[in-house]
Structure 1
Amino acid sequence: MYTLGIIMLEYPFDLEMSEKLHSYGFKSKEIKQIDQLSEVDGILISVNQKMNNHTIKGLEWLTTLKKEKCGIPIWLYTDTPLTPIERKLCLHLGANGILVKDSEEEENDFIIMKNILGCLVHQESSTLVILNKEAQSLSFNGQPEISFTRLEFRALSFLYDHAGEVVTYQEISVHLWKGEQAVQQYRVANIIFLIRKKLGEEGKNLIRTVRTKGFQLNKNLI
């Protein structure tokens, strides 16, 4: 059962909507912070157009998620149909679709959502990441191993051991430079940059930046 992260904007979490999603075969989880995105398979932004500025706030969330490059599909769930201009804007900002509550197409739209998530999960699970601690290297799907420097591999291994968790700059800094008091944030960022450069296109989704906090290794790829 796939988990949809629900962004409710300013009003309380809608238990009725949660029950409806369950009837369509989804779990639901309220999203209040960007850090929670790793816990869900997709995002549903609930927009109540009867409330002031809710459409605008939905667009703001789309913009934020686009900047974060969250890597999971995003849908808008509105109480009434959007105008053609609003629909076009939402799609340009990264929405994968727009659902209208209680419409004739609602059930079909949720089936399409489930099919999309099924393809994405299958695609992710086909990637196999193997970390070779003796050789200080990493390989994707049995391809030639990628070698790292001692410091790069220690950082990568630390993220690997905490896959799915947000590891802060401070935690990485302490792990790499034990005994130094100051948090070496710029040095940590530089090491992650070098790791990503070596990982190349195939490994672009392995490490996610969590703004102002640190980094997170995608646990679905290991």
Structure 2
Amino acid sequence: MYTLGIVISEHSFDLDLTEKIHSYGFKSKEIKKMDQLSEVNGILINVNHKTNNHTIKGLEWLTNLRKENFSIPIWLYTDAPMTQIELKLCLHLGANGIFVKDSETEENDFIIMKNTLNCLVHPKTSTEISTSVILNKDAQSLSLNGRSEICFTRLEFMTLSFLYDRADEVVTYQEISNHLWKGEHSKRKYRVANIIFLIRKKLGEEGKDLIRTVRSKGFRLNKEAL
């Protein structure tokens, strides 16, 4: 899983942005110093385009980051579309792309970001241990990284299997509810959320990245963690 360094100049850390980044299958780390660049695979500079001073600070970060490390991918994430002149300026300063918050293309933008990192980041060496997930339907259990099996209740395992079969796809609350209770309308969204909570609790720290929340939509089993 790739880690994005998040630059948010003059503002406190944006929890909504980090939650969104996690929903698209990335880890995140707030960047405040240049010596943190070795800890991330790419940089996302959050720019409040409506505030001139904030835009200037974002461009300063872009310029300084490029001076420090030209090889790391850097994207700008703005709250409003830029003019053509502004876009050209950002690209000439070294931005690999400019994304607009909550735009129709936002999900595709994050896919492009991941594809770019796939080309640039070296694959894991043979000495690194890859994460493996094995489901045992007879025992209603899961084995993570070859360790002892984690047992689940019937509804928990049905939910986990449903997400597993649709790995890296967003599965909605309604789809999970229909799968578990065959369309019974008395079952509400909070029941699905509670089951996911119990699954995550059993997975523990090692499996914390396996199931991602996609805000207001549902959940996604993170293929990068398999």
Deviation (angstroms), 1:118: 3.8
TM-score, normalized by length of structure 2?
A: 0.55
List alignment gaps of at least 5 residues for structure 2: 29-41, 48-53, 75-115
Aligned alpha-carbon RMSD (Å): 4.2
Write out per-residue CA displacement over residues 14-68 of structure 1, whole angstroms, 9 at most, x where no aligned residue: xxxxxxxxxxxxxxxxxxxxxxxxxx95658899xxxxxxx67xx5894422244
* 2:156 is equivalent to residue 152 of structure 1: yes
Taking the aligned partners of 2:183 and 2:136, their CA distance within structure 1 comes to 27
Deviation (angstroms), 1:100: 2.0
* Matched-pair contact (CA < 8 Å) for 2:174–2:189: yes
Aligned residue number for residue 35 of structure 1? none
* 2:76 is equivalent to residue 72 of structure 1: no
Taking the aligned partners of 1:148 and 1:103, their CA distance within structure 2 comes to 48
SS at match of 1:216: strand
List alignment gaps of at least 5 residues for structure 1: 1-39, 48-54, 80-85, 91-97
* 2:207 is equivalent to residue 203 of structure 1: yes
Taking the aligned partners of 2:154 and 2:189, their CA distance within structure 1 comes to 18
* 2:86 is equivalent to residue 134 of structure 1: no
SS at match of 2:27: coil
Bigger relative contact order (CA 8 A; separation at least 6): 2
Taking the aligned partners of 2:13 and 2:192, their CA distance within structure 1 comes to 29
Taking the aligned partners of 1:62 and 1:142, their CA distance within structure 2 comes to 36
1:186/1:106 Cα in 2 relative to 1: closer, same or farther (>3 Å)?
Answer: same
Taking the aligned partners of 1:197 and 1:139, their CA distance within structure 2 comes to 15
**Aligned residue pairs, count:** 157
1:195/1:131 Cα in 2 relative to 1: closer, same or farther (>3 Å)?
Answer: same
Taking the aligned partners of 2:129 and 2:121, their CA distance within structure 1 comes to 11
1:60/1:162 Cα in 2 relative to 1: closer, same or farther (>3 Å)?
Answer: farther
1:162/1:108 Cα in 2 relative to 1: closer, same or farther (>3 Å)?
Answer: closer
Letter of the aligned partner of 1:75 in structure 2? I
TM-score, normalized by length of structure 1?
A: 0.56
Aligned residue number for residue 107 of structure 1? 70
Q: Which of 173, 188, 192 is residue 188 of structure 1 equivalent to?
A: 192
1:134/1:78 Cα in 2 relative to 1: closer, same or farther (>3 Å)?
Answer: closer
